[in-house]
């Protein structure tokens, strides 16, 4: 993992991810960061038109980016999506003319690497943000 975020990443997204990770303790949480299809963000992979669920969102007013959190099965070491919700959210993204640009999930146990299961997130977006809890502090790590 790297500590370098994508160029379009900002403090509001960091705050939203850390707030979501804290709120899910002691369990992991995952989500998807989306952008309007028409928005021009360098490094954004606009070829993907599918996504995960939403149900909770934090709006980044400055750049129109949204963090959609997925509330499926969660434990301190794993999180899984409800397939029906995934399909429903993919349709919502299409209707809202939005695309996924990054995935997000937390590692409340402090793991500093992607697990084999985490690797499946690569199908959703080019960029991945992981909130890692160490002692009482959260660090965001990135994979591109």
How many domains are there within the chain?
1
Within a domain: residue 47? yes
Measuring CA to CA, which residue among 29, 25, 53, 62 is closest to residue 130? 29
3-state SS of 92-141?
HHHHCCEEEEEEEEEECCCCCCCCCCHHHHHHCCCEEEEEEEECCEEEEE
Instruction: Return the SS3 of 32.
Output: strand
| Weakly modelled stretches of the chain, pLDDT under 70 | 1-2, 38-63
Residue 28 within a domain:
yes
Residue 26 lies in a domain: yes
Q: Confirm whether 1 is domain-assigned.
A: no
Q: What is the DSSP string of 65-97?
A: EEEEEE-SEEETTEEE--HHHHHHHHHHHHHTT
pLDDT in tens, 119-131: 888 788 889 999 9
- What pLDDT is stored for residue 57 in this prediction? 42
CATH number of the domain within which 55 lies: 3.40.140.10
Whether 82 is in a domain gets the answer yes
Residue 5 counted as domain residue: no
**92: containing domain:** 11-143
Please tell me the pTM assigned to this model. 0.80
| pLDDT number for residue 38 | 66
In a domain, 79, yes or no: yes
| Residue 6 in domain | no
- In the block, residue with structure tokens 């990135």: 142
Q: pLDDT by residue (tens digit) across 92-118?
A: 999 998 889 899 999 999 998 888 888
Tell me which residue has tokens 């992991």: 28
What is the pLDDT at residue 1? 61
Whose CA is closest to 100, among 129, 59, 66, 130?
66
- What does the pLDDT read at residue 54? 33
Burial class of 110 by CB neighbour count within 10 A (0 to 12, 13 to 18, 19+): exposed
């Amino acid at each position: 993992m790297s500590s370098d975020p994508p160029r379009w990443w900002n403090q509001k997204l960091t705050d939203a991810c850390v707030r979501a990770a804290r709120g899910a303790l002691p369990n992991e949480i995952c989500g998807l960061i989306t952008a309007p299809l028409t928005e021009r963000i360098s490094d954004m992979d606009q070829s993907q038109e599918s996504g995960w669920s939403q149900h909770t969102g934090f709006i980044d007013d400055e750049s129109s980016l949204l963090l959609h959190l997925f509330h499926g099965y969660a434990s301190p070491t794993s999180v899984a999506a409800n397939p029906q919700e995934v399909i429903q959210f993919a349709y919502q993204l299409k209707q809202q003319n939005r695309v996924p640009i990054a995935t997000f999930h937390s590692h409340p146990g402090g793991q500093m690497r992607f697990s084999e299961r985490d690797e499946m997130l690569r199908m959703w977006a080019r960029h991945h943000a992981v909130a890692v809890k160490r002692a009482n502090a959260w660090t965001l790590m990135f994979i591109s």
